[in-house]
Each structure stands twice: as structure tokens, then as C-alpha cells.
Amino acid sequence: MDDRRPRDRDEVYWPSTGEPQIRDLGFIVADDHEWFEVKRVNHYRVTTPKPYVPLTRITHRGEHYALTLEFLPDPLRDVLLISFQLDGAGYRLYPLLAPHLGATGWDNTAWVDEGALFAQGSTGTSLCLTAENGFTRASAGYVGASDGWQDFNTNGRLTWEFARATNGNVALIGELDDQSGVLALGFAESPTGARTIAISSLVEGAASVRDRFTAGWERWHERIHIPTTPHSELEREAWLSAVVLKAHQDRTYPGATVASLSIPWGNSHNDAGGYHLVWARDTVETGLSLLALSDLEGATEMLSYLVATQSPDGHWSQNFFPDGSPYWNGIQLDEVGFPILFARKALELGLTERPSIAPMVRSAAAYLARNGPISPQDRWEENPGASPFTLAVEVAALVAAAEWLEGDERTYALELADCWNERIEEWTYIEGTDVAHAHGVAGYYVRIGPPPTEGGLRGRVQVQNRDGETVPASALVGLDFLYLARLGLREPTDPKMTDTLKVIDATLRVETPNGAVYHRYPDDGYGEHADGSPFDGHGTGRGWPLLAGERGHGELLLGKDPVPYLNTMTRTTGPGGLMPEQVWDTEPIPEQFLYPGKPSGSAMPLVWAHAEYLKLLAATATGRPVELLDVVKKRYRGKRPHAATWFWRDAIPFAQLDRGRALVIEATEPFNLEYSLDDSSTWASRNSAILGLGMHGVRFTAAELRDRKTLHFRRLDGMEQTLAVSSTTTPLSA
């Protein structure tokens, strides 16, 4: 295949959104003298009849032709109808289809039979592409060698008519004698089945199928309420964003929502490198935006799906296929906390309590209690440590979970949340660094603090996609800290928050012709190379419209106008209004289709970005972030708490405790604790008691420690610890 092709891929997913079955369905327009691949001409316009009806019409224009295509999914059948109208004397249309049945496409077989194009994967999954009057000529070949594009590139016209290409990376091409008509692409478990449903759809007729399709979206439109805005372009993008979220919800597994029906840098990655997987985080971000649109029905489906896909120990896999099968096996604690926040928010907004919610919440809260607060991975799936984003979610989730808990277990969840909340700055806020001096601030929140056992804020962080390079934790900042205010744990006007904003705006903000976007963190390696070539495990991170939305939330929380950030998100979309993961943010490279402030080759659409847009629009209308829960707001009111009890565990040790606090030494299994107060020659022992949520601990009351200076303790593992009891009343870090 020619490398100069645009990097877009045109996948069709079946039978679920986790399974792309074609790599590309493109079109060649040709007469006896010249030929054009319309996506390479790259001159087109995308329209829909209404912003909320995704009946996509694309008009491609060349110097002597115009091609209009309408893409219509049949609501009753696993068929995509494509109506076409070609204007231009002497021109014919040639659909060019690259099957990828079975995820990779390297073992497909393609053939031509009775005027239709067929393909089958090694597992039997099949497709059929046919037309109302069939194809006058057709060919099946191998990609890069004998496919139809190679034929045109070599001979200037369709000359090859190969009947079959077996067990390889195959492609099909057909010639249409008519300049207008309808194509049908059908999928089934057999070639005969694919042909049957494709022809059935053609027989019913595009007009009838279109009416049914449109009626379904009109019914959906009636239950959706877009936040009020005086800006028509923002409202239109809001409807489009709502449609994107709806379109990404699976029909086979209702509630399953993949991160994107796209494959980043698709021309250089196979299907397994795509975003057509479910992340619990992205699902909840989507579900929260549905709640903002008053779509309780859609949110309920998502909540039900999350209950069904929760692991027995309480967590969700890093990501998984729509059927619930895990893909990657990392652990991200924000993905454990988010479903709790989602459940609580749904109840606050009128969802009827369901018997399955309480067990799901308790199991997730228990996982957080046993494994938090240090997460094996941050939200960018790159580093272990203490991220302000993840910590904020964990704390808010424990407070929310307490609403379903009772007695000592409820008390424990709230005490643990208070302790972790108070210590957030200990783990993620740093002062007196070169970065702080350079920007005239006392300190700032870092992107992620390494685990305390690995140096904490004075440790180093490995920068992914940069050959194992490590940098001081103090050198990495990100917008992650804004969730501290967004979830009600800190006041947005706190100097620590506003100082970090100054650092962020100075280091991560990039101005483009379409507005300011933000990088994830300094020296990010996830994005195109400087020459525009695709990310290949290395690269340079670009600006994220999603993060413009997060920055807009920060502006809203400060009482300022977030609309400029909404405008940025709207203007950085592709021609059809879809929001990309990243935009190009430096000098244009036209031959690579890279222009400042416009989509790069990253995922598009990114569902999370569309959800963030809708949540910011809703927050603009209400003055309150969608994620903010009443129970969390009431407990903390944006203030760092002074926890009555601190919890000591191996992952988050400390060497000093304020006088007046209680102390709990905790572990995930029962244990015996030997201890000595002040006089290390006299030892006593206590057996741990059940704290709740799967945790065990030994408690020392504030009264027991009031007149003490030190506590020595050891467990059965023989490791001895010394804890000083301070006479001060402010927290002292380890």
C-alpha cells in the first residue's frame, strides 16, 4: 500500500463494538483517461439531516466529478447500506474493500461470485458486499501486490479480474455500471448468511430502512436534554457529542461503551492497537455526561453493565472487550472508584435504588481500602504512584460508598477517606524546586508522586515512550490536580491550586489557530514524531482537546468564563465535528495532512473528549461540576481535613504523628502486633481486630498516646518501626 494515503481508517464493527471486521472501505472514481481515490483527493463535506440523527452524507468533489455517499446502518439487520450518486460524464465508481475479519486480517479469503464480493475469516466470520444491480466486473487480490488499488496505480484502470485470493491480507474491488444506486455490506457467520441479509436489506429499500433508522433517533432525541446555551455552534456540537456517545454504546452488550471506534495511527498499527475496548473510567465519564443530559435510561444500562463486569475481588480490569473479557491486566484505582461515584450520582439524580448496587459498591470500596491509596497505574496507564487525580477519586469514592455501609465499616471508610485526603499534599505537592522558582510560586502539585517506599516526591518517574528515561518527580506536572477541586476536596482558590495553574499554563499550554490546548505532561512521548510520521512506540505528545475541557472546568470553578475552552474543543474537531484525542500543535505538514489545531493521526473520535465537552457545557449552565457529589461536598466543603485517626500501612508509612490523633496500624490479614510505648525494653502485644472492608488493624486511641513520645512496634514479619508522637497540632510528613 502507498504510504501517502491519509492515515484514516474506515472500520465497520460487528457483532460488537470491540470487533472491527474491515480495515477500509474506500472508493475510486475513474473514466477511460484518469482515476482518483477520493479519500486521497481529500476534498469533501460531511453533513447530517439533523445534528442528532447520524445519517452521514459525504460529498466528495473533484475537478470533473462529484460523488455523494450516504451511510445507513439497518436497525433490523447486520447490514450497512451505502447510497451513491456519481455526477460526471463517463465516470464509473469502484468500491475498494479491505476485509480484516477476525481482528488481524492476515488469514482472510476473498472471492467474487454471482456479481457480489465475499470474504471470510479463519473462524468463519463472513461478509458480503453487493449492489442493487450487482457488479459488472470485480477482482479479489492481495494487499500491496494484486489488489485493485495496485491495478489502478499500475495500469490506470481495472484490468485484473482475479476470482479468488486465499488465506492472506486480501482486498476486493468491484465496478459499478450505474452512477446511482445502493450498496449493501452484510455480516454473518457464513457467506450465505451475509449475502442473504445484504440482499434482504436491498429488497426492503433504502427509503424504508432510512425511515426506521431516523424514527429511532428521533425517539432518542425526545428523552435527551442538552444544557441551555446561547451559542448555536456549541449546541450543535453538544448534539453531535451526544450522538457519538450513543453510537459507541454496544447493541449486543447494552451499556458497554468503547473508548473509540477508531484505531490511532491506523495505517501503521493492526486492529489490536485500537481503542475499541471498554475502560471503566471512560465508561463512567460517558455515564456522567448522560446523567447531565437527563438520560437516566442510558446511564442505567451502563451501571448495570459495570455491575456485570466487576471482578470478584471488586476491581475492574484495566480494559476489556464488550463481552467482559480482559485485554490488558493493569490496575488503575481510579477505575475502581469511578463506578462508585457514578452510582451515587445516579441516585442523587433520581435513579431508583437497585439491589445489585450496594454489593457492587461495597466490593469496590473494599478493593480500594485493601489496595489504596498508591495506584499501580495512573490514569494515563503509565506509572505507579500517588496521582492527585486518582487520590481524589479514591477519597470521594470512599465517602460515597459509606452511604451504603453501616456501623463500624461505615466509620472505617470515612476515617480512611479523611486520613488519605489530609495526606494528599504530603504525597503530591512539592515546594522549593527549580520549577517553583522559575514560575514564582511556592510550590505545585506534581503529575504523580512515586510511592513513598521509592522516594516519594524526591524520587524519579519513568517517562514512557522514551526508552526508559527517568526524570525527577518534581519535573512532571499535569492537569490531574484539578479533580481535587472538581470533586470537592479543595477550594479552587487555594493558593496551592492557583499556583499549580500558573505552572500548568506556562509549561503545558499550547496556542493554536483554533484555541489553546494542553499537553498531558512535559516531554510526553505519545504522539507523532516531529516529521509527522506516526507514533511507533516513540514520538512527541501533542495537545489534547480533552485537557482543554479540564482546564475549562478549572476556569469555571474559579468563577470565570469557560466558554473559550468549549469553543476550542469545537474548533479542533475534524470535518464532521468529531473530537480527536490529540491535535497537531506545531508547524503544518500538508503532505501528512497535519495542520495546527486540527486532528493528528491519534484516535478520533475520543469518547472521553466528547463526554468532557458535554460535562463542561452542563457545568457552565449549572455552575457546578457534574462529578461533584452532595455527600462529598457536605463532608469536606473544599477544605483539607484534620483527620482524627491516621492509618499506618506498609505502602504509606509515616514517622511522626500529631498529638491528639488516634493511630491504627492496619493490614489485609489478621496479625499480632508487639509494641512498646517510650520504653523499648518493655513490650506488650495486641491481636488485630476487624476494621471492615477486608482490613484488620490495631488501634491506639488518642488518649493512650497523649503523654507518649514514641511508639515502637513490630509484627510477625520481624520488621520494627519507630513512630514519634509530636507535640504539635499540624501534620508532619514522614
Please tell me the distance from the alpha carbon of residue 65 to that of residue 30, in angstroms, as a whole number: 10
The HSE-up count of residue 703 (CA atoms within 13 Å, CB side) is: 0
Please tell me the distance from the alpha carbon of residue 498 to that of residue 496, in angstroms, as a whole number: 6
Please name every residue paired with 482 in a beta bridge, in sequence order, or none if there are none: none
Q: Is the pLDDT of residue 465 over 90?
A: no
Backbone angles phi, psi at 674, to 5 degrees: -100, 140
Q: 118-126: list long-range contacts, CB under 8 Å, 24+ apart.
A: 118/191, 118/194, 118/195, 119/170, 119/172, 120/191, 122/167, 124/189, 124/190, 125/21, 125/101, 125/187, 125/189, 126/101, 126/187, 126/188, 126/189, 126/190, 126/191, 126/193, 126/194
Residues 227, 621 contacting (CB under 8 angstroms): yes
Please tell me the distance from the alpha carbon of residue 607 to that of residue 280, in angstroms, as a whole number: 13
Residue 42's pLDDT band, with cuts at 50, 70 and 90, is confident
Locate the domains of the chain by residue range: 22-219, 224-636, 645-726
Q: C-alpha cell of 114?
A: 454471482
Residue 153's pLDDT band, with cuts at 50, 70 and 90, is very high
Residue 717's pLDDT band, with cuts at 50, 70 and 90, is low
Q: Is the pLDDT of residue 216 over 90?
A: yes
Residue 237: in which H helix or E strand, if any? helix 232-247
Pick from 436-445, 651-660, 721-730 the range whose average pLDDT is largest: 436-445
Residue 734's pLDDT band, with cuts at 50, 70 and 90, is very low
Backbone angles phi, psi at 675, to 5 degrees: -150, 160
Q: Please, what is the Cα angle at 84 between 171 and 199, to 5 degrees?
A: 70
What pLDDT score was predicted for residue 730? 37
Cis peptide before 15 (omega within 30 of 0): yes
Q: Is the pLDDT of residue 386 over 50?
A: yes
Q: What percentage of the chain exceeds 70 in pLDDT? A: 96
The residue-averaged pLDDT of 498-526 equals 97
Region label for 69, one of left (φ > 0), alpha (ψ between -120 and 50) or beta (otherwise): beta
**The three-state (H, E, C) secondary structure of 104-162, written as one string:** CCCCEEEEEECCEEEEECCCCCEEEEEECCCCCEEEEEECCCCCHHHHHHHHCCCCCCC
The residue-averaged pLDDT of 29-43 equals 93
Cis peptide before 254 (omega within 30 of 0): no
The residue-averaged pLDDT of 670-675 equals 93
Residue 729's pLDDT band, with cuts at 50, 70 and 90, is very low
Backbone angles phi, psi at 547, to 5 degrees: -75, -25
What pLDDT score was predicted for residue 266? 74
pLDDT digits (tens, 9 = 90+) for 230-280: 999 999 999 999 999 999 999 999 999 999 998 888 766 655 557 999 999
Q: DSSP letter for 285, please.
A: H
Cis peptide before 339 (omega within 30 of 0): no
What pLDDT score was predicted for residue 733? 31
Per the model's pLDDT, the better-predicted residue between 265 and 721 turns out to be 265
Residue type, 734: A
Q: C-alpha cell of 711?
A: 511508639
Q: How far is the first Cα of the chain from the last one, in angstroms, to the nearest whole number?
A: 59
What pLDDT score was predicted for residue 680? 73
The residue-averaged pLDDT of 110-118 equals 96
Q: DSSP letter for 474, please.
A: G
Please tell me the distance from the alpha carbon of residue 256 to that of residue 48, in angstroms, as a whole number: 25
Q: Is the pLDDT of residue 5 over 70?
A: no
Please tell me the distance from the alpha carbon of residue 139 to that of residue 128, in angstroms, as a whole number: 14
Residues 150, 144 contacting (CB under 8 angstroms): yes
Residue type, 54: P
Q: C-alpha cell of 19?
A: 470487533
Picking from 262, 354, 279, 285, the residue whose alpha carbon sits closest to that of residue 9 is 262
Of 174-188, 351-365, 652-666, 675-689, the poorest mean pLDDT is in 675-689
Q: C-alpha cell of 417?
A: 477517606
Please tell me the distance from the alpha carbon of residue 43 to that of residue 61, in angstroms, as a whole number: 6
- Determine how β-strand 684-687 pairs with β-strand 689-692: unpaired
What pLDDT score was predicted for residue 682? 87
Residues 287, 25 contacting (CB under 8 angstroms): no
Question: Strand, coil or helix: what is 279?
Answer: coil
Q: Please, what is the Cα angle at 271 between 269 and 273, to 5 degrees?
A: 60
Question: Strand, coil or helix: what is 27?
Answer: strand
Per the model's pLDDT, the better-predicted residue between 18 and 422 turns out to be 422
Q: Is the pLDDT of residue 105 over 90?
A: no
Region label for 246, one of left (φ > 0), alpha (ψ between -120 and 50) or beta (otherwise): alpha
Residues 579, 611 contacting (CB under 8 angstroms): no
Q: Is the pLDDT of residue 732 over 60?
A: no
Q: Taking all residues of the chain, what is their mean pLDDT, rounded to a whole number?
A: 93
Please tell me the distance from the alpha carbon of residue 682 to that of residue 678, in angstroms, as a whole number: 9
Residue 2's pLDDT band, with cuts at 50, 70 and 90, is very low
The residue-averaged pLDDT of 77-102 equals 96
Q: C-alpha cell of 389?
A: 487525580
Per the model's pLDDT, the better-predicted residue between 517 and 43 turns out to be 517
What pLDDT score was predicted for residue 268? 64
Residue 63, C-beta contacts closer than 8 angstroms, at least 6 positions apart: none
pLDDT digits (tens, 9 = 90+) for 478-499: 999 999 999 999 999 999 999 9
CATH topology assigned to domain 224-636: Glycosyltransferase (1.50.10)
Please name every residue paired with 278 in a beta bridge, in sequence order, or none if there are none: 258, 320
Please name every residue paired with 690 in a beta bridge, in sequence order, or none if there are none: 696
> E strands along 405-514, which residues?
429-431, 443-445, 460-462, 470-472, 509-512
Q: Is the pLDDT of residue 608 over 70?
A: yes
Question: Strand, coil or helix: what is 664?
Answer: strand
Please tell me the distance from the alpha carbon of residue 396 to that of residue 419, in angstroms, as a whole number: 12
Residue type, 686: R
What pLDDT score was predicted for residue 95? 98
The residue assigned the cell 468500491 is: 95
> What is the total residue count of the chain?
734
Residue 104's pLDDT band, with cuts at 50, 70 and 90, is confident
What pLDDT score was predicted for residue 283? 97
The domain 22-219: what is its CATH number?
2.70.98.10
pLDDT digits (tens, 9 = 90+) for 408-429: 999 999 999 999 999 999 999 9
Residue range 645-726 forms a domain whose CATH class is mainly beta
Backbone angles phi, psi at 622, to 5 degrees: -100, -20
Question: Strand, coil or helix: what is 714?
Answer: strand
| Cα–Cα distance list, 246 to 22, 221, 260 (Å) | 22, 11, 12
Residues 196, 188 contacting (CB under 8 angstroms): yes
Helix segments in 293-387, DSSP class H:
296-309, 333-348, 357-371
Residue type, 571: R
Picking from 531, 609, 521, 500, the residue whose alpha carbon sits closest to that of residue 565 is 609
Residue 198, C-beta contacts closer than 8 angstroms, at least 6 positions apart: 79, 116, 128, 129, 130, 184, 185, 186
Residue 718's pLDDT band, with cuts at 50, 70 and 90, is low
Residue 312, C-beta contacts closer than 8 angstroms, at least 6 positions apart: none
Q: What would you report as the CA-atom Rg of the chain, rounded to the nearest whole angstrom?
A: 29
Q: Is the dihedral of CA 319, 325, 327, 331 positive or negative?
A: positive
Please tell me the distance from the alpha carbon of residue 700 to that of residue 475, in angstroms, as a whole number: 39
Please tell me the distance from the alpha carbon of residue 135 to that of residue 685, in angstroms, as a whole number: 85
